Amino acid sequence: MGLAHAQDAQGEDSTVRPSYWDEATAHLAKRDRVLRRIIRAHPDTNLRTRGDAFRTLARSIVGQQISVRAAQAVWDRFESLAAGMVPARVLALDDEAMRAAGLSRMKVAYLKDLAARFHDGALKPRRWARMADEAIVADLVQVRGIGRWSVEMFLIFHLMRPNVLPVGDIGLQRAMERYYNDGDALTREGMREIAGPWQPWCSVATWYLWRSLDPVPVEY
């Protein structure tokens, strides 16, 4: 399914299931015994989006290299500074006030760069609906502090792209090692091989594997 269809079905309403969810879960449950068990254990939950593109990418920067709990605390303080969390307001914030909210100097610079690119039109979110996943990766990794993992989280959680396999994600690595390799380490190529039967719904498989490790739904 193309992004345009998924977005048309969902819009910005985080309470609406991705339009492909039932088709994806049926496919995965049929093709993979591990996922069938996990899907059955979580019958009334699904992928959700938090909000707009800028907010999602900003959250991914705030959460880098710190725990989920710490990231939420810093985000709450940062969000209270930038009421409304729009690029112009972030650009207007004093750097030291951002530091006082718990952001490192590097993250302050990253967030200001992201805000500037949204504010001046260097990033054009409306184009992304027509772009392939890898083209969006290439577009966003130009932003300071945004690497491939951050873009993959954006593809899954904001754009709702159905077939993203973030092999660099620690949680996914741990889940795949636990369920598919007796707890032993897997190479990224090994992860891709295991995920072959999940196509074209790797985002959904990834989301359920995250859920198997943490009862709280993963969101960005």
Q: Tens of pLDDT along 96-108?
A: 999 999 999 999 9
Q: Tens of pLDDT along 16-57?
A: 679 999 999 999 999 999 999 999 999 888 888 766 899 989
> What pTM was computed for the model?
0.83
What crossing angle do the helices spanning 202-213 and 33-41 adopt, rounded to 10°?
60
Q: Domains in the chain, start-ordered, CATH in brackets?
A: 3-48+163-213 (1.10.1670.40), 53-157 (1.10.340.30)
Residue 196 has a CB neighbour count (10 Å cut-off) of 9
Write out residues in the chain with pLDDT < 50, as ranges.
1-14
Burial class (CB in 10 A: 0-12, 13-18, 19+), 23: middle
User: Could you write out the DSSP letters of every residue in 86-151?
Assistant: -HHHHHHS-HHHHHHTT--HHHHHHHHHHHHHHHTTSS-GGGGGGS-HHHHHHHHTTSTT--HHHH
Contact yes or no for 164/203 (Cβ under 8 A): yes
3-state helix, strand, coil in the chain (%, to 5): 60, 0, 40
Q: Which amino acid is at 86?
A: V
Interatomic CA distance for residues 103 and 122, integer angstroms: 24
